[in-house]
Structure 1
């Protein structure tokens, strides 16, 4: 049975040429001209990468600090004690603690977007792997969420640091802001993500790295992006 699409989506699809690969700036400009929704959509870049996700040396994972923020209010939980806990609380973390939070999470609490932990706290936090792992909430050094400097980590997450990770089909999707953002802001965030992924390219990956790039908003058709990017700076 064919899925029905809304009139708004069909109007948007009429403005997009599915056979064309748009320069990023032109794609952002066109996306902003598509019929809006009643809510502020999330804008994302999705990548098909030229890597083998079954190979451990082809893993692509990391974080990117969006220069213009993500537009999302991020709720942060920090597993820490002592000065690290004080620093995290002062930096704006909503939930800070150790043994009390371990028990709370173990019994099902998950009303947070990011979990951060100090290396010392990870001794016990690791035991929550089966709970936090499937939700994508497990602190990880490569994601910048296992740190001594909890204050800096909390501030980065809240100011627009986003995490990315290769999936089993060699795809990576990264939010770059909200539909309400100015074009220049979406462009700046998009370019930051592209540069970060280029830097994360595995040394053993051969051939074309960006096989396909799609720009889209939550309820919009995707726009194919030219994929011949090189690092800036």
Structure 2
């Protein structure tokens, strides 16, 4: 990991006690004091879970609708057909269509953040697996991005619905707001996300489930929370 040597960063880092595991409220209040960038930084949560993602029964993936959204305007591509194209656009999709967008992606176009598709289009989207799969953009029913109700899906993702999946190291990294959010909004989003993660604990996961929990701004230092206190907090 690259070392941060910026003067502002080093000053902000002094606010964080080395080796300390913070309780939830203290960490959430502190993270908003670590702003150093001129842009509106993202509040990010990083988790390491007590799972072995090599085993299918220990995969952790799902979706959650944050009550206050992420603060980011996500660009949604809806791959569908017929009247669903107009429905997707009316719900807020930035792009909507069928084969023409599949061809654009094959030619290298990737100016979107989420792909949502109706089931009838999946056989055609399958050939985009190598392109979308490596970037985590392949539509999947478990993430809510393959659905017959594309209007509802677009609306939810525009409002702040998150799709997440544990990586090969057992980690999950997601945005839960912006630096200009109030502490109360960040806390509500944090609790909603962690509650969902707790609900998704695989039966095969043994021992401590929440191994590490940290929060930070895009350009700020990480603030580590006490996993036991986080588990108790989300109940």
In the TM superposition, structure 1's runs of 4+ consecutive aligned residues that sit over 6 Å from their partners are none
Seen in structure 2, the aligned counterparts of structure 1 residues 155 and 168 have a Cα distance that, compared at 3 Å, is same
Q: Is the 8 A contact 1:32 1:179 kept in 2?
A: yes
The match for 1:97 is 97
| Cα shift at 1:63 | 1.3
Query: Is structure 2 residue 161 aligned with structure 1 residue 161?
Result: yes
TM-score, normalisation: structure 1: 0.95
1:148-172 deviation per Cα after TM superposition (whole angstroms, max 9, x unaligned)? 0001100111100112111111111
Aligned to 1:130: 130
Aligned to 2:146: 146
Supply the distance in 2 between the matched residues of 1:231 and 1:8 (Cα, whole angstroms). 32
Question: Following superposition of structure 1 onto structure 2, how do residues 24-63 of structure 1 map, counting pairs within 5 Å?
Answer: 24-63=24-63
**Cα distance, 1:127 vs. partner?**
1.2
Deviations 1:118-139 (A, max 9, x none): 0111010111101111111110
Alignment of 1:173-184 (within 5 A): 173-184=173-184
TM-score (norm: length of structure 2): 0.94
Secondary structure of 1:188's counterpart equals helix
How many equivalent residue pairs?
232
2:184 pairs with 1:189:
no
Measure how far apart 1:3 and its partner are: 3.6
Cα RMSD over matched residues?
Answer: 1.5
CA contact (8 A) 1:198 1:230 kept: no
Q: How far did 1:230 drift?
A: 4.5
1:22 equivalent in structure 2: 22
Whether the aligned pair in 2 keeps the contact of 1:195 and 1:231 (CA below 8 Å) is no
5+ residue gaps, structure 1, are none
Query: Which runs of no fewer than 5 residues in structure 2 stay unpaired?
Result: none
